[in-house]
Amino acid sequence: MYRLLQKQVLRSPNTTALVCDDIHISYSCLKKQVDELADRIGQYGARRGHLIAVEVDRSPELLVVLFAIFKVGAAYVPIDSSFQVADRWGLVDGLRASMLITTTECTRKGFVCERIIVGRRQLVIGRRSHLSKPVDGGLFAIMYTSGTTGNQKAVAIRVSSVLNRLKGMWRSFPFKTTDVSLLHRSHAFVGSTWDLFGPLLGGIPTVILQNPDAGDPKKVWRTLVDKRISHLGASPSFWQRLLDCAEQAAEGSSTLRVARTGGSVVPPEIVHRWRKILPGARLLNVYGSTECLSPLIYDTALLADCDTVVPIGAPFHNTRVSVIDAGCRPVADGTLGEIAISGPCVAAGYFRNPALTARQFVQVHEGAQDDRLFRTGDYGRVLPNGFIEVVGRLDDRVKIRGFTVDLKDVENSLQRFPGVVRSGAITRVNYRGELRLVAYVEASTAISRGEVIRAIRGIVPSYMVPSNIFIVDKIPTTASGKINKAALKALQIRD
Please indicate whether residue 200 or residue 394 has the higher confidence score (pLDDT).
Answer: 200
Q: What is the per-residue pLDDT for 433?
A: 75
pLDDT at 51 over 90: yes
Domain boundaries, the chain: 23-137, 160-393, 398-490
Q: What is the per-residue pLDDT for 253?
A: 58
pLDDT at 323 over 50: yes
Could you report the per-residue pLDDT of 97-144, keeping only the tens digit for each? Answer: 999 999 887 777 778 889 999 999 999 999 988 888 888 779 999 998
pLDDT at 471 over 70: yes
Superfamily the domain 398-490 falls into:
ANL, C-terminal domain (3.30.300.30)
pLDDT at 246 over 70: yes
Q: Coil, strand, or helix at residue 250?
A: coil
Rounded Cα distance between 182 and 208, Å, is 6
Superfamily the domain 160-393 falls into:
ANL, N-terminal domain (3.40.50.12780)
At residue 392 the predicted structure's pLDDT band, cuts being 50, 70 and 90, is confident
| Residue 450 bridge partners (DSSP) | none
Average pLDDT of span 441-468:
89
Query: What is the residue-wise DSSP string for 222-236?
Result: HHHHHTT--EEE--H
* Strand-strand pairing, 51-55 and 75-78: parallel
Q: What is the per-residue pLDDT for 86?
A: 61
CA angle at 389 for the pair 162 and 400, rounded to the nearest 5°: 60
**Cβ–Cβ under 8 Å, residues 149 and 91:** yes
pLDDT at 329 over 50: yes
Average pLDDT of span 461-476:
90
At residue 69 the predicted structure's pLDDT band, cuts being 50, 70 and 90, is very high
Q: What is the per-residue pLDDT for 152?
A: 53
Return the CA Rg of the chain.
23
Rounded Cα distance between 428 and 88, Å, is 30
Average pLDDT of span 395-404:
79
Rounded Cα distance between 284 and 281, Å, is 10
pLDDT at 369 over 80: no
Bond from prior residue into 267 cis (ω within 30 degrees of 0): no
Rounded Cα distance between 385 and 464, Å, is 36
| Residue 382 bridge partners (DSSP) | 388
Query: What is the residue-wise DSSP string for 398-435?
Result: EEETTEEEEHHHHHHHHTTSTTEEEEEEEEEE-TTS-E
If you count DSSP H runs as helices and E runs as strands, how many of each does the chain have, helices first? 13, 27
Q: What is the per-residue pLDDT for 313?
A: 95
pLDDT at 239 over 70: yes
Rounded Cα distance between 48 and 267, Å, is 43
Estimate to the nearest angstrom the gap between the alpha carbon of 82 and the chain centroid.
14
Rounded Cα distance between 169 and 363, Å, is 27
Angle between helices 192-202 and 60-71 (to 10 degrees): 80
At residue 149 the predicted structure's pLDDT band, cuts being 50, 70 and 90, is very low
pLDDT at 480 over 70: no
Q: What is the per-residue pLDDT for 310?
A: 94
Query: What is the residue-wise DSSP string for 47-76?
Result: -TT-EEEEE--SSHHHHHHHHHHHHTT-EE
Instruction: Give Cβ neighbours of residue 27 (< 8 Å, ≥ 6 apart).
Output: 5, 8, 9, 12, 13, 14, 15, 17
Q: Do domains 23-137 and 160-393 have the same CATH topology?
A: yes
Q: What is the per-residue pLDDT for 417?
A: 87
Could you report the per-residue pLDDT of 413-433, keeping only the tens digit for each? Answer: 888 888 888 889 999 888 777
CA angle at 291 for the pair 286 and 293, rounded to the nearest 5°: 35
pLDDT at 150 over 50: no
* Strand-strand pairing, 99-102 and 51-55: parallel
pLDDT at 147 over 80: no
* Strand-strand pairing, 337-342 and 373-382: antiparallel
Which top CATH class is 23-137? alpha beta
Please indicate whether residue 310 or residue 267 has the higher confidence score (pLDDT).
Answer: 310
CA angle at 360 for the pair 357 and 362, rounded to the nearest 5°: 90
**Cβ–Cβ under 8 Å, residues 373 and 401:** no
Nearest-10 Cα torsion for 382, 387, 392, 394: 50
CA angle at 76 for the pair 75 and 79, rounded to the nearest 5°: 160
* Strand-strand pairing, 373-382 and 361-362: antiparallel
For residue 212, give the DSSP letter: T
Lowest-pLDDT choice from 27-31, 337-341, 387-391 = 387-391
Phi, psi of 492 (to 5 degrees): -90, 90
Lowest-pLDDT choice from 56-70, 125-139, 312-326 = 125-139
For residue 13, give the DSSP letter: T
Please indicate whether residue 26 or residue 495 has the higher confidence score (pLDDT).
Answer: 26
At residue 7 the predicted structure's pLDDT band, cuts being 50, 70 and 90, is very high
Rounded Cα distance between 312 and 376, Å, is 13
The average confidence (pLDDT) of the chain is 89
Average pLDDT of span 216-238:
93
Rounded Cα distance between 106 and 395, Å, is 38
Estimate to the nearest angstrom the gap between the alpha carbon of 366 and the chain centroid.
31
CA angle at 170 for the pair 164 and 173, rounded to the nearest 5°: 125
